[in-house]
Amino acid sequence: MNECDSRAFGEAQTFEEQFFQLMAGINRQLRQLSDQQLVQECVSPAQLFFLKRLHDAGAPQPVSFFAEGHFSSRSNASQMIDRLQAEGLVQRQGNPQDRRSVLVRLTELGAQRLREGHAQHLSLAQALFAPLSPAERENTLHSLRRVLGLLESFQAQRREKPAGT
């Protein structure tokens, strides 16, 4: 029996193991909720985040603007833009400052879906987290911000460190 097998039979798991299992479970549940929302003709959380980021920017933005945010690369951002454009939620337009660049702008339908999606997701979140006390909510947000900061710091250090060192 290897180390993983022995833990499956009741041996206590480390903090790190529990953390990653919990995050995987949360991710799985959020994806299932997202899929259910899409069935109800609502924008997905990723689409909502994208549309909100574009809206909050206040002006059309280049693809790189989205790659620097939630999406991990220009390719992922471009795929999201393709899907949103196919649904009529965003449009690509030439960049008057740089002919080689394309800007993405929110359409009226995109702004409408953003408002509707935001209201639906807010309602869902309120229902999900209603059992948490104000103190539990604040502690949860504090812990999640701290974890995100640790992950971002770790990633930044890895990017700064040359390969093979």
Report domain extents, the chain: 30-131, 132-165
Q: Is the pTM higher than 0.85?
A: no
Query: What per-residue confidence (pLDDT) applies to 30?
Result: 83
Query: What per-residue confidence (pLDDT) applies to 6?
Result: 44
Query: What is the C-alpha to C-alpha distance for residues 91 and 81, in angstroms, rounded to an integer?
Result: 8
Query: What per-residue confidence (pLDDT) applies to 72?
Result: 65
- The CATH fold assigned to 30-131 is Arc Repressor Mutant, subunit A (1.10.10)
pLDDT (tens place) for every residue of the chain, 165 residues total? 445 544 555 567 999 999 999 999 999 998 888 777 665 667 777 888 899 999 999 999 998 888 776 666 778 888 999 999 999 999 999 989 888 889 999 999 999 999 998 888 888 889 999 999 999 999 999 999 999 999 989 988 988 876 665
Q: Are 140 and 132 in contact (CB under 8 A)?
A: yes
Query: What per-residue confidence (pLDDT) applies to 66?
Result: 83
Close Cβ partners of 95 (under 8 Å, ≥ 6 residues apart): 62, 101, 102, 103
Close Cβ partners of 47 (under 8 Å, ≥ 6 residues apart): 80, 83, 84, 89, 117
Query: What per-residue confidence (pLDDT) applies to 112?
Result: 94
Q: What is the DSSP letter of 98?
A: E
Query: What is the C-alpha to C-alpha distance for residues 157 and 46, in angstroms, rounded to an integer?
Result: 27
Query: What per-residue confidence (pLDDT) applies to 133?
Result: 97
Query: What per-residue confidence (pLDDT) applies to 163?
Result: 63
